[in-house]
């Protein structure tokens, strides 16, 4: 097959789960069936690579757009790149788009080339209203483009059963067009790996237990809820936050202010790593952590939890979206009910209740090292059995072939 994958993120420009997914999926698809399939990845950036049957081509913007307001610039840049992608692609059997950032190109190419369009549901814009802070009125356009793509797609891959329900509820996609294919993790790379030099590099005391957060500074990832919960933890706990890329300057300032308030408390050590942490460092950080904490208020899947579990670390997470299909409560970690769809500062009671519940779950595992050890072992086994990228690629390729065969006269 000739497969086109359209994506915003691709190495070296990866900032979220969708980018991780595309990177490993494209690599595994290229290796399938003895390398018989040809892949072309179109992405945002300067990439230009060709290795065997896998070609990667970036699209870039080298001029400033006119705009109604500054926040529209990101949307206009995205549309421009989509037009470039549309003109670039020629010979292809199937078009596979990831996130709304490439949906316009996917819809145009489906019409121009007469080839089937597949979408992978990493997230859905109506469930991320805080994106309006970034995009302004452009958020209405991103939602419109997403809806249009789902209405025109020949197949949809949902990364969890929760996302399968969401695409049907929001966009009316017929169930027979949707296939649930979980995300994966590189189980050969992400495994229990211990390195005290890495802890020292980040100023972490190996003699004291620490909880770990890894993610962007965004409402979606719930980092403010974790900071509220940290205020209720017992003395002697280290809180390590690998948190970067605030959605807005205001959110970055709020993060810094909350950290200053927490640091003023005796007995609680906060370590904020505000720079990108390379994979060779993040794996030991996962492995040494007593608990990985994922306080997201919206999470279609949550690859980050798989990475921690693959490193043998139990997870405390909110019971939302695909997290409920990854973390087995009382087996590989603990799940905390969200209590409200979006418990932000304007709902102080809901936010306070979530913070208390998170703190109680964290503290219960911190006080029981043996329970954490058993959970970590079970977490590793679960990842090995269910979430390898090779399985993801095989299921994806089978879905492609089913769609292509179904369109033949």
Which structure tokens are listed for 77? 């840049």
Q: How far are the Cα atoms of 216, 248, 353 from residue 252, in angstroms, in the given order? A: 10, 6, 24
DSSP letter for each residue of 376-408: HHHHHHHHHHH-BHHHHHHHHHHHHHHHHHHT-
Strand partners for 233: none
373: number of Cβ within 10 Å? 12
pTM above 0.85, yes or no: no
Q: Is the dihedral of CA 153, 154, 159, 161 positive or negative?
A: positive
Are 101 and 145 in contact by the 8 Å Cβ rule? The answer is no
Task: Give the separation between CA 338 and CA 120, rounded to whole angstroms.
Answer: 26
Its CATH class, for the domain covering 2-184+388-406, is alpha beta
Q: Going residue by residue through the chain, which has 409 residues, state the pLDDT in tens, using 9 for 90 and above.
A: 999 999 999 999 988 889 989 999 999 999 999 999 999 999 999 999 999 999 999 999 888 878 788 888 888 999 999 999 999 999 999 999 999 999 999 999 999 999 999 999 998 988 888 788 778 888 999 999 999 999 999 999 999 998 999 999 999 999 999 999 999 999 999 999 999 999 999 999 999 999 999 998 988 899 999 999 999 998 889 999 999 988 888 888 999 998 988 877 767 899 999 998 999 999 999 999 999 999 999 888 888 999 999 999 999 999 998 899 999 999 999 999 987 555 555 577 888 899 999 999 999 999 999 999 999 999 999 999 889 899 899 999 999 999 999 887 7
Task: Give the separation between CA 393 and CA 395, rounded to whole angstroms.
Answer: 5
**CATH assignment, 196-386:** 3.40.50.2000
Show the CA angle centred on residue 292, arms to residues 354 and 264, nearest 5°.
Answer: 65
Q: Which residues in the chain are classed under CATH 3.40.50.2000?
A: 2-184+388-406, 196-386
Three-state secondary-structure class, residue 232: coil
Spatial CB neighbours of 82, under 8 Å, sequence gap ≥ 6: 101, 102, 103, 104, 105, 108
By CB atoms closer than 10 A (0-12, 13-18, 19+), residue 214 is buried
Q: Give the DSSP letter of residue 38.
A: E
Task: Give the separation between CA 165 and CA 172, rounded to whole angstroms.
Answer: 10
Task: Give the separation between CA 406 and CA 40, rounded to whole angstroms.
Answer: 23
Q: What is the dihedral of CA 102, 157, 147, 343, to 10 degrees?
A: -100
Task: Give the separation between CA 353 and CA 344, rounded to whole angstroms.
Answer: 11
Are 401 and 36 in contact by the 8 Å Cβ rule? The answer is no
Are 68 and 137 in contact by the 8 Å Cβ rule? The answer is yes
Q: Maximum CA pair distance of the chain?
A: 72
State the Rg of the chain over Cα. Answer: 21
């Amino acid at each position: 097959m000739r497969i086109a994958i359209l994506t915003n993120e691709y190495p070296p420009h990866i900032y979220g789960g969708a980018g991780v997914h595309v990177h490993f999926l494209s690599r595994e698809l290229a290796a399938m069936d003895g390398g018989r399939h040809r892949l072309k990845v179109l992405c945002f950036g300067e990439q230009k690579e060709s290795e065997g049957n896998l070609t990667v081509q970036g699209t870039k913007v080298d001029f400033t757009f006119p705009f109604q307001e500054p926040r529209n610039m990101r949307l206009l840049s995205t549309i421009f790149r989509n037009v470039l992608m549309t003109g670039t692609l020629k010979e292809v059997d199937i078009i596979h788009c990831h996130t709304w950032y490439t949906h316009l190109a996917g819809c145009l190419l489906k019409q121009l080339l007469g080839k089937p369009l597949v979408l992978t549901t990493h997230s859905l814009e109506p469930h991320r209203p805080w994106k309006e802070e970034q995009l302004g009125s452009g958020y209405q356009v991103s939602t419109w483009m997403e809806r249009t793509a789902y209405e025109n797609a020949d197949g949809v891959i949902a990364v969890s059963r929760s996302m399968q329900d969401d695409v049907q509820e929001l966009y009316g996609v017929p169930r027979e067009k949707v296939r649930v294919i979980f995300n994966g993790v590189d189980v050969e790379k992400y495994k229990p790996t211990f390195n005290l030099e890495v802890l020292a590099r980040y100023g972490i005391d190996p003699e004291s237990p620490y909880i770990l957060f890894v993610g962007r500074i965004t409402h979606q990832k719930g980092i403010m809820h974790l900071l509220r919960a940290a205020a209720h933890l017992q003395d002697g706990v280290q809180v390590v936050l690998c948190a970067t890329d605030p959605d807005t300057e205001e959110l970055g300032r709020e993060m810094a202010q909350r950290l200053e308030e927490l640091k003023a408390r005796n007995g609680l050590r906060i370590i904020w790593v505000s720079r990108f942490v390379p994979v060779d460092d993040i794996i030991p950080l996962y492995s040494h952590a007593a608990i990985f904490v994922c306080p997201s208020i919206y999470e279609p899947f949550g690859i980050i939890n798989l990475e921690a579990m693959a490193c043998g670390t139990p997870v405390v997470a909110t019971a939302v979206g695909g997290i409920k299909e990854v973390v087995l409560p009382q087996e590989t970690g603990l799940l905390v009910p969200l209590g409200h769809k979006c418990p932000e500062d304007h709902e102080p009671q809901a936010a306070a209740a979530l913070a208390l519940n998170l703190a109680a779950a964290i503290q219960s595992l911190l006080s029981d090292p043996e329970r954490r050890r058993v959970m970590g072992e079970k977490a590793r086994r679960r990842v090995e059995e269910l979430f390898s990228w090779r399985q993801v690629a095989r299921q994806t390729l089978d879905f492609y072939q089913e769609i292509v065969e179904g369109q033949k006269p």
